[in-house]
Structure 1
């Protein structure tokens, strides 16, 4: 993990969202299987036909350790494109996490692996294996454009995409916003009087 990715790992997705003016977050249905999961790294993109996981297997094989596999599964939730065995392969290959705009299965088995998985849904039915899919191409995942190498950050609140070319700028903006939020917290928290002071200031009360 590079120093840039490590610095993003230390920031909440909410702060990064503020720096991006509320854009570039994936659909709110895409959430981690455990709220404790936190990831930040480079996107290795995969596009698959709905319900087919051959492209995911290829992505797991070709991605570098530390990459985050980002899968455009077309939002299809009737067939799972990964279960505990497939997720274990990703873990063994050194990936940092997987984000799937689609469904998984074997939820308890995946949770037992303690490997970060973010997805839209779960189902029982297994995937098909008929088409190779596409790797390292621009995709749409959860309604957001993702290009290979973009910074992906995920936590309990969801997943956000930081375009690679703007990563340093967005990082600095997010850090500054977090500092201001901390200063506000210190200034106005701790008592009813301070809370009222803030409410009056923000609402323009006289």
Structure 2
């Protein structure tokens, strides 16, 4: 099921921490992509459907520079085929010793309207990528070409990225805390709940800043907390 525009818009207003809690309540514990970081603290929130690329360990006789001359090379093809609004998610085996991609390929994704890119490996030209104002996440900078260690092998199949299962079409949410994967069939439900959770958390934050104790407030075990929340929502239009 394609990601609805209204669901995309709602997810843009919530954080990965809130979504992680909503997923945990449904029994999902491994949806956070581990050890990936935004290249720039100023990049916007990332939302889009996963389009995947899988790397395997390179076999030297099959992974020379000449493979890039092939227009069907999986890395090059993934960059050209990833749909606008989607997120290219790369399984680099959590190995940042060689780059998953560099600034030219990431710039091409940006120019094509792809929402962002995530790898559990590393990017080369990371400073240039950080200056693009584009949603990009990796483990750490990495100068060597991906060919030295990684062989691109499959486009848009199920992958593991940073220990998280990612299926094509799953919804990717990224912010300053990291990246989380929302199973596609839960996207609408999670977005709606996360918006409600965010409203309550904003209310709680406002109350705590006034000096209120979290006891009975977070979670709202006191009836007065829920009454106060309803009044706050009415006052602020949330």
| TM-score normalised per structure 1 | 0.86
- 1:118 and 1:132 map into 2 onto residues whose CA distance is 19
1:17 matched to 2:23? no
Structure-1 residue corresponding to 2:231? none
Structure-2 residue corresponding to 1:104? 123
- 2:74 and 2:175 map into 1 onto residues whose CA distance is 25
Determine which of 191, 195, 214 is the counterpart of 1:198.
Answer: 214
Contact 1:33 1:117 in 2 (8 A): yes
Contact 2:10 2:192 in 1 (8 A): no
> Any runs of at least 4 consecutive aligned residues in structure 1 with deviations exceeding 3 A, and if so which?
50-54, 129-132, 199-202
Contact 1:30 1:142 in 2 (8 A): yes
Contact 1:18 1:177 in 2 (8 A): no
1:173 matched to 2:189? no
Aligned residues: 199
SS in 2 for 1:35: coil
Shift of 1:124: 1.8
Q: Which runs of 5+ in 1 are unaligned?
A: none
Contact 1:48 1:71 in 2 (8 A): yes
Determine which of 74, 81, 102 is the counterpart of 1:62.
Answer: 81
Shift of 1:176: 2.2
Shift of 1:41: 0.8
Shift of 1:95: 0.9
SS in 1 for 2:131: helix
Q: Which runs of 5+ in 2 are unaligned?
A: 219-238
Determine which of 33, 41, 55 is the counterpart of 2:48.
Answer: 41
